[in-house]
Structure 1
Amino acid sequence: MKEIHEIYVKTHFSAAHCLEGYPGDCARLHGHNWIIEVHVRCERLNEIGIGIDFRDIKTAVKEVLQGLDHFNLNELPAFKSVNPTSENIARFLYKELSWILNADGIKVSKVKVCETPGAGAYYWEEED
């Protein structure tokens, strides 16, 4: 049986957005304190029992979130052609963090983005 460890970090950022074409209040510009969870799967542990250092994940997340924090997400290049929904933000973060963190035996497994503590979206990719 193959052992897998899944490590995660949880953080947040603040940003505004509006949802074009949405039939309600969210069509107007408004802000959130977005809650983010980044999950990373590790196939093995190093000699001291670590799959990936929490610090490495936190550093990568901080780097990517600097481009989102305290911005109007609609004005950013990543969201010019798609609404900055929780789903699309989760996909964006997954892809950006995968470029930074993925290595042999280490893979971003999923990203969770919440607009409020009780509502959010996960994004992950599966092999066909």
Structure 2
Amino acid sequence: MYRVKVTDNFSSAHNLREYEGNCERLHGHNWQIEVSLKGKELDELGMLVDFRELKKEVKNILSDLDHTYLNNHEYFCKVNPTSENIAHFIYTKLKTRFKDRVDKVVVWESDNSAAEYYE
């Protein structure tokens, strides 16, 4: 089994609805995102996926979230913008492009706190 990973980041503000504590108030993060794809087969060049393609797709997804108030985003109007739900959102978007090769998405909201989503 092969696995490739890329990282990227974005900045945004959010607040957690129905949360009792500081995170219920408006605040922001510089999110660090780690995406990994997996597969058993390499292409004719010996690659699972071209890093350039994966980075471009991740950048496109994150550009929709960067420097926004996540609670106003179409998806997060209905879903609380937790790190877990952000990971799920990114994973789902990546699946439309990379199908069953998407392994997991890790979302770091700080240097020592992260959530990941995988199936």
The TM-score bracket by the shorter chain reads over 0.9
In our comparison, the structure showing a higher alpha carbon Rg is 1
Q: Percent identity?
A: 46
RMSD: 0.9
Task: Return the letter of the residue paired with 1:87.
Answer: E
Task: Return the letter of the residue paired with 2:79.
Answer: V
Of the three residues 71, 75, 81, the one matched with 1:74 is: 71
1:41-56 matched pairs, under 5 angstroms: 41-56=38-53
Of the three residues 4, 7, 20, the one matched with 2:4 is: 7
Q: TM-score normalized by structure 1?
A: 0.89
In structure 1, runs of 5+ residues without a counterpart are none
Segments of 4+ in structure 1 off by > 4 A?
none
* Number of corresponding residues: 119
d(CA) in 1 for partners of 2:33, 2:61: 12
Of the three residues 102, 109, 113, the one matched with 1:119 is: 113
Displacement after TM superposition at 1:47 (Å): 2.3
Displacement after TM superposition at 1:26 (Å): 0.6
Task: Return the letter of the residue paired with 2:64.
Answer: G
Q: What secondary structure sits across from 2:16 in the alignment?
A: coil
Task: Return the letter of the residue paired with 2:113.
Answer: A
In structure 2, runs of 5+ residues without a counterpart are none
Q: TM-score normalized by structure 2?
A: 0.96
What corresponds to 1:58 in structure 2?
55
Displacement after TM superposition at 1:48 (Å): 2.4
